[in-house]
Amino acid sequence: YRHAGPPGTIWQKRAGVRQRSVESVVDELEYLQNEHGIGHVMWLDDDLFKDAKRTINLYNEMVRRNLKLTWDATNGVIAAACTEEIIAAAAESGCIALNIGMESGNPEILREIVKPGTVKSFIKAAEILRKYEQIHSSVFLMIGFPNETFSMILDTINVSREMDLDWYRASVLQPLPNTPIYDSMVAQGLIQDVG
C-alpha cells in the first residue's frame, strides 16, 4: 500500500515491506465507498498475494463489512500465489480482473530472467482462474529475450493456449538501463550502453 494513509493509520513492517493493517486498509476502502461514492479500486501491488493469510483476511474483512466495491489487480499477480482459497476469497470480495505476469512459457528463459513462476504454476493458476467467470483473467507475455529462438517463442504461445484464459498481452522486451537484463545484454554486446 504505497500511499500515506489517513491520520491514525497503523503500519506493519515485514522484511523490507511496509504494510498497513488489514483493518486500516478496509477502513479506507469503506471511507472511499461511503463518503466519496467510489465503486472500484485498482490494487497497484507487485505482490498482492504474497502473504496468503493476510490476503484472505483482507478479502474476508471486505465481505464482512459488506463493501460493494469491485476491484482489479491488473498490475499483475504471481501465478504460484493463485491458490483456490485466495482466488475464492478474491472473487467473493469483488475481484473482476487479474493479470498473471508470465512473460515466457519456456523454462530456460524463465530461469534466465529469474522469474518466480514455472510452466506448471502458470497452468495451475489458469485452472483455478477458469472456475471464476466473473474474474477477467489475462496474461502478460514478452518476446525478444536475448538468445530466444522461434521454438522458445512457440513454447510461450503453446503454454498460453493451454492456459486458455480471457486475454493475452504480448510485448517486445525493452531492456531498461540499470536492470540486470540490460547489463547482461550490454555485456554480451547485444545492445550499446546509453550511459
Alpha-carbon distance 184 to 165, whole Å?
33
Q: Which residue, 114, 112, 106, 42, is CA-closest to 78?
A: 114
Give the CB-side neighbour count of residue 17, counting CA atoms within 13 A.
12
pLDDT of 70: 97
Given this model, what pLDDT does residue 9 score? 46
Give the pLDDT score at 169.
92
- DSSP letter at 176? P
**The predicted structure's pLDDT at residue 4:** 43
Write out residues in the chain with pLDDT < 70, as ranges. 1-17
pLDDT at 16: 65
